[in-house]
Amino acid sequence: MRDRLIQLACVVVMVTAWVGGGALLPRIIASSDEHSLRYTDVSIDGAPPIVAIGTAIGALRGIIVDYLWIKTNVQKERGLFYEAMADASLIAKLQPRFGEVWGFQGHNMAYNISVMTDTEWERWQWVRAGINLVRNEGLRYNPNDLILHKELSFWLSHKIDGVADDAHLYYKREFAREWQFLLGPPPSSHADRIAWLATIKDAPDSLEELELKEPTVRALVEQLKSNLSGFDQKFQFELDEAFLINLGRWQAVQTSRYAKLLGLDATFRKNDPIYAAFDVAFSVPESAAALEKFLPFLRKKVLREAFNMDPTLMWELTRDFGPFDWRHPQSHAFYWAKRGAMTSEKRVQGEDDIYKILNNDRINIQSMQALSRSGLMHYDPFSNDNPGRLNDPRWIKAIDIYFGELYRKHYGTRGGGGDTFCDFYQNFMSQAVRELYRLGDIEGSRAILSKLDQLFGRGGLIPNNKYEAPLETFIQSVTYGEYEAAPDVARSDVYAALANGFREGLLMDRPERLEAAIKFARGLIDYFQGGQYADFVNKFGDRRMADLIGNLKTSVQDVFASVLMDSSQPLVDRLTIYNRAGEAERRIVYDLVKGPLEAEFSMDPLARLAPFAQLLPEPPGMEAFRAERAAEAAKRGAEDETSHRATAESK
């Protein structure tokens, strides 16, 4: 009897607790929303249907999630990545506000599972799946999770734009191709890029609104529906990502050099019904005009629905920071880190968590640095070449401005947060002084040096004369002083200057850049070939510094050949560089590059259109040049033999 009473009392307590908990739940949810205690501003927004099941489970949901989380970590440690992903997926469904599990799944796909596959295509599918999972699902359920934003930003920066993965060049090609089809190549100037994105952000939010504003669009849409109606269900008219990519592909064919050389327009019209449908729809002038109004609306819709990206924010970042090219992974890395800072920092409370904000801001400015070094892109999606990526000096000014913002923000951050950005700024801007000087922007280079002197030199907290020297003296004394401590840096800077000169001076038809690069290289080489650097000979008979740097003729030859054989750059661009070079430059590299380029050319679609000798013609005077080189080699051989004989006799 006593046991029955105890059981009955327990039942009463349990029922009372359930009823009381149910009564208090609305107030608890309201309070959590009011005080930002959830990962979203409204706790029930965006939750998947299975959350209703999880809510019905009640307290057991927490126990199940804890068990699955422990199991998932054990599986990861044992290398059971697929099994861990399955359990993590269940956790995400039961607890979609658990940001860490989304990050776990995304990292598992992009890093762990991807490297277990056999082909570049398979790797890319897993890397892309991991990024899409966090971007399109995890951040929809956790839009205010700073760590999730930072993780996504890091993957874009490290996995795709970095070089650690063997398939990184494939990732760069696929990423550039996808975003070129989605948005098209951006305009060249910064102002035009701002205006270009403004047309997307200001586009109507619905097709009905667009058709009311632009009646010609209605006729275009009806024609597209009619043209696509005869296909299988998956090809039916639907304004989604697949539709936009197919449309972007059709547009790219119209402007692609490779597409024209290979006759892809006729091939696609014959073999691809989707392409043919677009070609019919857009072949008349009226449709072309309607497309100009239709395309920004479609891009806006797809960016929001398929990529969880806000065109207004993309426009604001381009307006306020710099000329983003959305085919570049670092533009997306900046976007997500900056969006995380804008939406999530208010939820990071307490000094113990300030490092989260600091690390996120570091990714932002590091992305800008990467864009300054490779943000000027050109890409033909129908070639098998890698995207061309040149340095973009426009980001130097943007970083200069953003540094001030970050320094003020983290001035009082525990652990010297502001000093972190000072170190970055000094290193980057010192390189910018050299870069602008090599490019011939003497005034810009001098202005940066003056600012460095104001902030960290004579105007610094501890005044010093590091930056007070005139520009040329700074380049030669301070910079060369760094070379003396690390002579390999001197050689790499000569090569970098010449490589940039060849790529930008010839490819972009700016000969003054090549002239500035050769002037810089000649000055640095002469410096190391003279004085104490030429006099010092080590015990092996080598001039430690002078022999390391070499001479200008050899450096130009080595760098020009390296530029032409750099398979990370489009072959058609390299052939353009060769044909725009002077006869002397072409002579010194022709025999070096002919074999490798001919082998590469034989595997390229261009081989079907023109003979190799037409695209890489032998420069005039090669026979005399070869004879001269042979005579020089024989002379050096004789001198070496004499030197060795003299050394042997002295012993």
* Predicted TM-score (pTM) of this structure: 0.77
- For Cα atoms 562, 566, 569, give the angle at the middle one, nearest 5 degrees: 135
pLDDT at 23: 57
Between residues 644 and 259, which one has the greater pLDDT? 259
pLDDT at 352: 65
pLDDT at 194: 97
Between residues 501 and 322, which one has the greater pLDDT? 322
Work out the burial of residue 610: count CB atoms within 10 Å of its CB; fewer than 13 is exposed, 13-18 middle, 19 or more buried: exposed
pLDDT grade for 490, boundaries at 50, 70 and 90 = low
Work out the burial of residue 631: count CB atoms within 10 Å of its CB; fewer than 13 is exposed, 13-18 middle, 19 or more buried: exposed
Lowest average pLDDT, out of 136-140, 387-391, 623-627, goes to 387-391
Cα(551)–Cα(528) distance, integer angstroms:
10
Cα(174)–Cα(384) distance, integer angstroms:
10
pLDDT grade for 460, boundaries at 50, 70 and 90 = confident
Helix (H, G, I), strand (E, B) or coil at 107: helix
In the predicted structure, residue 548 carries a pLDDT above the cut 50:
no
Q: What is the mean pLDDT of the chain?
A: 80
Question: Is residue 581 within a helix (H) or strand (E), and if so which, with residue range?
Answer: none
pLDDT at 513: 81
- Name the token pair of 185: 């190549």
pLDDT at 543: 43
In the predicted structure, residue 369 carries a pLDDT above the cut 50:
yes
In the predicted structure, residue 241 carries a pLDDT above the cut 80:
yes
Q: How far is C-alpha 88 from the geometric centre of its chain's CA atoms?
A: 28
What mean pLDDT comes out for the span 419-423?
Answer: 85
**Do 290 and 247 meet the contact criterion of CB atoms below 8 Å apart?**
no
**Do 247 and 301 meet the contact criterion of CB atoms below 8 Å apart?**
no
Cα(251)–Cα(245) distance, integer angstroms:
10
Q: What is the 3-state secondary structure (H, E, C) of 597-635?
A: HHHHHHCCHHHHCCCHHHHCCCCCCHHHHHHHHHHHHHH
- The pLDDT tens digits of the residues spanning 302-356 come to 999 999 999 999 999 999 999 999 999 999 999 999 999 999 887 776 666 788 8
- The pLDDT tens digits of the residues spanning 105-164 come to 888 888 988 888 888 998 998 899 899 989 998 899 899 999 999 999 999 999 999 888
Q: Is 415 left (phi over 0), alpha (psi -120 to 50) or beta?
A: left
Cα(111)–Cα(96) distance, integer angstroms:
22
pLDDT grade for 18, boundaries at 50, 70 and 90 = low
- The pLDDT tens digits of the residues spanning 188-231 come to 889 999 999 999 999 999 999 998 888 888 888 888 888 777 66
Per DSSP, helices labelled H in 78-138 are 81-94, 99-107, 120-132
pLDDT at 36: 45
What mean pLDDT comes out for the span 619-644?
Answer: 75
Q: How many CB atoms lie within 10 A of CB 484?
A: 13
pLDDT at 148: 94
Write down how long the chain is. 651
pLDDT at 163: 83
**Do 510 and 391 meet the contact criterion of CB atoms below 8 Å apart?**
no
Cα(609)–Cα(614) distance, integer angstroms:
10
In the predicted structure, residue 52 carries a pLDDT above the cut 70:
no
pLDDT grade for 650, boundaries at 50, 70 and 90 = low
What mean pLDDT comes out for the span 574-591?
Answer: 91
Cα(300)–Cα(224) distance, integer angstroms:
19
Lowest average pLDDT, out of 21-25, 109-113, 283-287, 481-485, goes to 21-25
| Residue recorded with tokens 């090219």 | 325
DSSP of 228-252: HTTS-GGGS---SHHHHHHHHHHHH
